[in-house]
A and B are shown apart, each in its own frame.
Chain A
């Protein structure tokens, strides 16, 4: 009998370690021959700790399991959720990037291979650089970190640049609230990211890579470091990647708690050991990136999606999605929501379907007031925008930002003036300080919202003007997009700004 207990930090945060220990102890005392496997998470976080038991007829799910449930679980007396992959939330998905996450032991390279791992890298290793780039371009893959820049074009720029050393840098500084896809894949299927970076390296001619991983993710750091060591020991990384005669190796580097380092140029400065201050572009990092060398900077999910594109073919990937948003979107459903977790599907599903059908509405049972999509720099979308399909252009047209595809649901108890104030306060705390609209504007933004809260409605005009200035005058997305949550709150929820006036009078 195989028993799977997730080791993902969301599962651990809900007691998975205690459950695993209790299972080991109780199984021993009952004389049950059980192999306990610590897998990643399937992404159904409301069911965590989600224990799966395989007695040779498929994996049956139980959850959420508490340590007190374990005797009944082992005696076969606990109600099951049925076959895990038939749970509607899971069955509805198209799992490509996350195909192995929650299925395998994250650090078992044989298990990884048995589930399609390394097929993509093997194929890429037999291809020319130009063919690798063409395949990525054909897949239509765009930057999953939020900017949506076509990955193939970025890679082509780096490939064509001439330099004695090029780099692949993975942006794993996943600081946006409501996002956890990067963490989940690094903890649950780390070899996918390594494989994706190796393919990128072969494609552009880079022999070194770095993962810039935030310090808030100690579990992911531990898993990635171990996975790199295993990959190196097995010839996946090193001077002769899978006996291709081509070299690629990589290191994991830890961030230090600065949100702005998720911006690619400040990330590069931080990686170089400097203050994480934003750089003006041009020069593009693709031409002058890490240590001034041509550098691919891609998000975790972009790179982790590359192996499946090479395994299944670019066309299969490109056949999914809508408009210019091809392939799958890895939605992260979070906040005040009944069924929170990771949901991977082709682009095009609407915001309303995600929140109400897939997410099941709010956890509190109260009506949904707003959904913030795309992290702290994304807009608060009201219910009348719920027909917006997921897609880069589609969200843009509706005054939003799909970003890293994290969604935070708020019920009707949320005070949108407070959320707008928080957006400005966050920008003020996290501003790198290089440009004035962001550094000073955010501070003035907090003060102006406080004036509105005290009943000075004339200040809304000032706030609007300030947001214009920040949007047009900031060097990067932090100052440039903070106006999005602020103005969407003001525009869609004017009552939350006006009622303070009445209260003051």
Chain B
């Protein structure tokens, strides 16, 4: 993720999306590819996507804004997803989230001041038999208590 990188040029964006244009239903794979490269979907990509796919800019914007995954700005260096779904709630996910927020001084969708961690809610990681569960970037952790959370946060530099 290149947080301080200059805004990508149209050529950069085309290089990422054009190879995917032959897929059936290419827009989501393109958006994922852009977010993989830049950590978010840059605003400058909207007209390029519209042009490549022969769509209106409003349509492209509508798709990006529909999905929780796509960001319009980069997240922190790490993303911590805390599951809010019922199985995790039955094992104390709400109090885990609250105590995490108290420690970090932030809430859902916020990033710590040092830019280390963004906290997002997630509705189910499929770890419902070892709840409560969280995911730090792509790494899943089950049966999370305050001590395990502290360890994760310190690893992430929060």
Q: Do A and B come from one complex?
A: yes
Which A residues form the contact surface with B (CB < 8 A)? Answer: 9-10, 12-14, 45-46, 48, 174-180, 182-184, 208, 215-219, 251, 253-259, 270-277, 290-291, 332-337, 340-342, 363, 372, 376, 406, 408-411, 414, 419, 422, 426, 430, 432
Taking CB atoms, residues of chain A closer than 8 Å to B27 are 273-274
Q: Is the interface of B mostly helix, strand, loop or mixed?
A: loop
Among candidates B25, B69, B85, B139, residue contacting A272 with C-beta atoms closer than 8 Å: B25
In the bound complex, how far is the Cα of B28 from the Cα of A336, in angstroms?
36
Among candidates B29, B66, B128, B130, residue contacting A177 with C-beta atoms closer than 8 Å: B128
Taking CB atoms, residues of chain B closer than 8 Å to A175 are 123-124
Among candidates A14, A46, A291, A332, residue contacting B128 with C-beta atoms closer than 8 Å: A332
Contacts A177-B86, A177-B124, A257-B69; A14 near B130 (Cβ below 8 A): yes
Contacts A177-B124, A216-B122, A275-B62; A256 near B129 (Cβ below 8 A): no
Q: A219-B140, A275-B66 are in contact. List 20 more A-B contacts (CB 8 A).
A: A9-B126, A10-B130, A10-B140, A13-B127, A13-B130, A13-B142, A177-B86, A177-B123, A178-B128, A180-B126, A183-B126, A256-B67, A271-B28, A274-B63, A291-B24, A291-B25, A335-B128, A337-B129, A406-B128, A411-B90
B91 touching A216, Cβ below 8 Å = no
B80 within 8 A of A: no
In the bound complex, how far is the Cα of B122 from the Cα of A217, in angstroms?
12
B151 within 8 A of A: no
Among candidates B32, B87, B133, residue contacting A408 with C-beta atoms closer than 8 Å: B87
Taking CB atoms, residues of chain A closer than 8 Å to B133 are 13
In the bound complex, how far is the Cα of B91 from the Cα of A414, in angstroms?
10
Q: How large is the interface on B (under 10, 10 to 19, 20 to 34, 35 or more residues)?
A: 35 or more
Taking CB atoms, residues of chain A closer than 8 Å to B81 are 216
In the bound complex, how far is the Cα of B88 from the Cα of A341, in angstroms?
14
B25 touching A408, Cβ below 8 Å = no
Taking CB atoms, residues of chain B closer than 8 Å to A208 are 24
In the bound complex, how far is the Cα of B128 from the Cα of A334, in angstroms?
5
Among candidates A45, A273, A372, A426, residue contacting B123 with C-beta atoms closer than 8 Å: A426
List CB contacts (< 8 Å) of B104-128 with chain A: 122-128
